[in-house]
Amino acid sequence: MEAAEYVAESPAGGPDAVAALLPMVRRIVAARVADATAAEDLVQETLVRVLTASGRVEPGMLEPYAIATARNVVATSWREQDRQRRNQHRVVDLRVPDPPDGELLAAEERSAVAEALTRLSERDRQALLEHEVSGRDTRALATELGSTAGAVAAQLHRARARLRVEYLLARDRVEPPTERCRPVLFALSSGDRRRQREVDAGRHLLECDVCATLSQPLLERAPQRDDEVRIAIGADADVVAARQAARDLAGRLGCFSATDLTLIATAVSEVTRNIVKFAGSGEVVVEVLDHPRKGVQVTARDAGPGIPDVERALQDGYSTYAGLGLGLPGARRLMDEFAIASEVGRGTTVTMTRWCGQR
Amino acid sequence: MTGPRLVSILRQGSYLIASIHTALDDTQMTAFQDDLVERIGRDRARGVVIDVAALDVLDSFATRTLRTIGEVARLRGAVTVVVGIQPEVAFAMVALGMDTGSVHTALDLEEGLAFLDRVVGSRRPVTTLRGGAG
Ligand SMILES: [Zn+2]
């Protein structure tokens, strides 16, 4: 008797998760920096920063964080080059010493907070100041405003989220380039997943340099969620990881049969493979839904080449590689709801849902 | 590299018994296909059993790979039977619109070996693999 054996590779840990981001980071940097050596330096710098921060970043948010970091690193290198160009007639290095003067920094922080406060609505500003500065609790505020403590707490939560966004904008002295920026940043700041979906925050971060930069501190403070899993997709093995994560999360709901869980896992496998094959990298988010009843929603997103003809891609037998055309139409049959948004040159987002007790 | 075995390919008389022990990604699945096809030639196998009982998902790629193995094995003179497809997995394959094509299937390893004996003719030793012969 003979035996052929394979061995499993080491399980994904922090450094592995960061290493998996390498192809995506390379793409982002290469799209902006022509010189290969300079680009590779920036890629390495990005990975080091992401690795350093990985403990502070919610595990599933590592990919958006890496996108934001890569763009920051590239932008900083541009500013640096620009400064060198402007100052190259001088002999001395005029760069601001690092770290900058503490006193100056504190004054800038204060003025940014003050500036941010003026951008809030009167109502939000009053509530925040009463609560944070005068120390009034939510119940006292509720009585005063003729509201409930819960409603006041929600208002304070929103006001704080808005203040964080306005503070970052004021501190960096930037005006958001698009109409969508503020809603996206606010949704990230408040940690409101429904809003993040509505404004398609993940895609906006792939596209908008300003928001990619500003969102970094907002993502770092995001709380851990147990009703959501994000998996950065960059290699074959991530297909298996994504479908197992989906099965685990859906299984925890307790309302899916073993067959339901297999159908969900299979659908996730199909759409995740499409990311690897066509876009190279992206992310898969699995979320628990409560309304109108329990279910799971899977979002598979990439910033790849996009699908020119979505209708055709959803037909059985349509194939763009190796005679394998079952991915999308198959996944659609396995789920209750299925939607694709795709734009050539911008990427593809597949959103699919399976409800408990549907069939 | 150390770690759990992902697959094993055992020779039993003129049969090969290939077992997939855990979920494989596409690269591992393709490596399994290549190794198994190579072993069919090297061991002059007449029958191949692929045991997928440990797999919780057989998606379009995995199913396609099993079909490819079966078809290549047939061209090399061996009969392939896939055994152990779990009921939920079978349901998903039907919903997905996939089947194993010309590759035969059987409920479990014993049934698979019995099938090969009927089709290929018994060339393997009389000893059974796990005791309890059917
Ligand atoms: Zn923006």
pTM (predicted TM-score): 0.59
Instruction: Give the class (CATH, top level) of B7-121.
Output: alpha beta
For residue A294, what pLDDT is reported?
Answer: 92
CATH code: domain of residue A188: 1.10.10
Q: Ligand 1: distance of its center to the CA of A207 in Å?
A: 8
* Chain A CB within 8 Å of residue B96 CB: yes
Q: Is the pLDDT of residue A316 over 50?
A: yes
Residue, of A242 and A216, whose pLDDT is higher: A242
Of A3, A266, A323, the CB nearest to B59: A266
Least confident of A110-114, B27-31, B61-65, B106-110: A110-114
Least confident of A7-16, A130-139, B117-126: A7-16
Q: How many percent of chain A have pLDDT more than 70? A: 78
Residue A77 inside a domain? The answer is: yes
**3-state secondary structure at position A178:** coil
Residue of B8, B10, B11, B60 to mutate, testing the A interface (most A Cβ within 10 Å of its Cβ): B60
Q: Is the pLDDT of residue A31 over 70?
A: yes
Which of A221, A242, A257 corresponds to the end of one domain? A221
Q: How many percent of chain B have pLDDT more than 90? A: 75
* Chain B CB within 8 Å of residue A320 CB: no
For residue A82, what pLDDT is reported?
Answer: 58
What domain range is A314 assigned to? 3-82+226-355
Instruction: Based on the fold, state whether residues A200 and A259 are members of the same structural domain.
Output: no
pLDDT tier for residue B7 given thresholds of 50, 70 and 90: very high
Least confident of A160-164, B45-49, B62-66: A160-164
Q: How far is B118 from chain A (nearest CA, A)?
A: 23
Residue, of A288 and A138, whose pLDDT is higher: A288
Which of A169, A195, A221 corresponds to the end of one domain? A221
Q: Ligand 1: distance of its center to the CA of A307 in Å?
A: 24
Query: Average model confidence (pLDDT) for chain B?
Result: 87
Q: Is the pLDDT of residue A130 over 80?
A: no
For residue A106, what pLDDT is reported?
Answer: 62
Residue A49 inside a domain? The answer is: yes
Of A4, A9, A236, the CB nearest to B26: A236
Q: Count of domains in chain A?
A: 2
Instruction: Based on the fold, state whether residues A235 and A341 are members of the same structural domain.
Output: yes
CA distance A270 to A314: 13
CA distance A321 to A348: 17
Residue of A260, A261, A262 to mutate, testing the B interface (most B Cβ within 10 Å of its Cβ): A262
Residue A101 inside a domain? The answer is: no
CATH code: domain of residue A298: 3.30.565.10
Q: A191-209 b/e with 16+ CB inside 10 Å = b?
A: bbbebbbebbbbbbbbebe
Of B4, B64, B95, the CB nearest to A334: B95
List, for residues B10-24, the tens digit of each pLDDT value.
999 999 999 999 899
Q: Is the pLDDT of residue B37 over 90?
A: yes
Instruction: Based on the fold, state whether residues A202 and A231 are members of the same structural domain.
Output: no
Residue A99 inside a domain? The answer is: no
Instruction: Based on the fold, state whether residues A66 and A119 are members of the same structural domain.
Output: no
Q: A248-276 b/e with 16+ CB inside 10 Å = b?
A: ebbbebeebeebbbbbbbbbbbbbbbbbb
Q: Which chain B residues contact residue A11 at CB under 8 A?
A: none
Residue pair B36/B74 in contact by the 8 Å Cβ criterion: no
Instruction: Based on the fold, state whether residues A318 and A232 are members of the same structural domain.
Output: yes
Which of A167, A199, A221 corresponds to the end of one domain? A221
Residue A98 inside a domain? The answer is: no
Instruction: Based on the fold, state whether residues A261 and A348 are members of the same structural domain.
Output: yes
Q: Inter-chain contact A262–B89, Cβ cutoff 8 Å?
A: yes
pLDDT tier for residue A98 given thresholds of 50, 70 and 90: very low
Torsion A65-A71-A72-A77 (CA) sign: positive
Query: Average model confidence (pLDDT) for chain A?
Result: 78
pLDDT tier for residue B122 given thresholds of 50, 70 and 90: low
Amino acid at B58: L
Q: What interface predicted TM-score (ipTM) does this complex get?
A: 0.88
Instruction: Based on the fold, state whether residues A349 and A239 are members of the same structural domain.
Output: yes
Residue A270 inside a domain? The answer is: yes
